[in-house]
Structure 1
């Protein structure tokens, strides 16, 4: 049996997500695979594609504008849940929401929010937060903490790990965009490679055209980029 890693050897990973983004959902499930193969511990944080895009809605296709309107309530509810019940509720609530949005194709409405809250063991009346800006100051602050690490020209998700040297700035990046979610050793190898390239201060982008839509493959996934 392998010995458990010492606390000093565990890498803290900060993961910013918007729950309505299907690509973020796939990446988040990859992070769970990574935790099985590498000594990492994930801390979850809310970011908002609605905040990111609020000053450029006129540039977006109608379907994306509609999504940005629907995206406010889930991040507000997640923020309210964190502030009232602690950071530890973010992951189970995100998983409950993501399962409904991306695997079950449930509507992004109050009924889905309430159902996810029940599954996460949280009060259903937290869904009220989706209809108010009461928690927007903290939501925007959480979003800003993530986006400041990588710049405005990205989206969800954002991942940050400690810098290579003690006292150095975190290594942060957008993505990776994956579909389907890598599993097992493939997940671990991708993690190692992403950290290698992201840690290079003069490296900015590696990209190729997506040939697989973020659609039917989700349904076979077990248990999620920009706009």
Structure 2
């Protein structure tokens, strides 16, 4: 039976727009949608909140601390957009922001957010949320949905699979087609294993967006 004719399962994925690893995982999940009866359910978390407040900035270099301060902007705009238009806008907005930040390498370009808002037919005025704390509680509420369960010793991405919140998968490159589906199948099996905690190996390369 074609996937579109079967009931799809929503898969929550918590992301911070600034994180390149979460971006790769998000592109993988979009590939999974093509070959398995699942649908990405986009949700926001905040690396800035996690590292600067929940972890009290412990062990952060000056450069990484500055990056975390910068990270507030895009996720605040995402929160403002959901308040304005509902959570369905998160997927298109994340794609518009992430393509510019990661594929086009425009992390320091202040026009990224306004261009992304325009592309997704949202008011450019929402860009002002980047420097406002108005929507921070909305961010924290979404963040806690994942991190109260998965713990503070992980980052993003976090997925909820088969009712279990898991950090990862952390991928250098997003698998395509049936390879994406097979990885999903394995993740479902892991999530369904009572008492499972961790699989990990050291990263030896940067994320690839090709």
Fold conserved between structures, TM > 0.5: yes
Q: 2 CA distance for matches of 1:11 and 1:18? A: 22
Which residues of structure 2 form unaligned runs of 5+? none
Aligned-partner SS, 2:41: strand
Q: Paired residue for 1:213?
A: 206
Aligned-partner SS, 1:95: helix
RMSD: 1.5
Q: 1 CA distance for matches of 2:158 and 2:195? A: 18
Q: Paired residue for 2:147?
A: 147
Q: Paired residue for 1:127?
A: 127
- List aligned pairs for 1:1-227, cutoff 5 A: 2=2, 4-7=4-7, 10-55=8-53, 56-162=56-162, 170-214=163-207, 217-218=208-209, 221=210
Q: Deviations over 1:1-60 (max 9, x none)?
A: 8373333xx222111100000000000000001000000011111100000011332411
Which residues of structure 1 form unaligned runs of 5+? 163-169, 222-227
Q: Residues 179 and 134 from structure 1, CA distance in 2 versus in 1: closer, same or farther, beyond 3 angstroms?
A: same
| Higher mean C-alpha deviation, range 111-120 or range 30-39 | 111-120
Answer whether contact 2:11 2:39 (CA < 8 A) is retained: yes
Answer whether contact 1:70 1:108 (CA < 8 A) is retained: no
Q: Give the alignment's TM-score, normalised by structure 2.
A: 0.94
Aligned-partner SS, 1:180: coil
Q: 1 CA distance for matches of 2:51 and 2:126? A: 25
Q: Residues 108 and 195 from structure 1, CA distance in 2 versus in 1: closer, same or farther, beyond 3 angstroms?
A: farther
Q: Deviations over 1:175-194 (max 9, x none)?
A: 10111111111111111111
Q: How many aligned positions are there? A: 208
Answer whether contact 2:3 2:36 (CA < 8 A) is retained: no
Q: Give the alignment's TM-score, normalised by structure 1.
A: 0.87
Aligned-partner SS, 2:5: coil
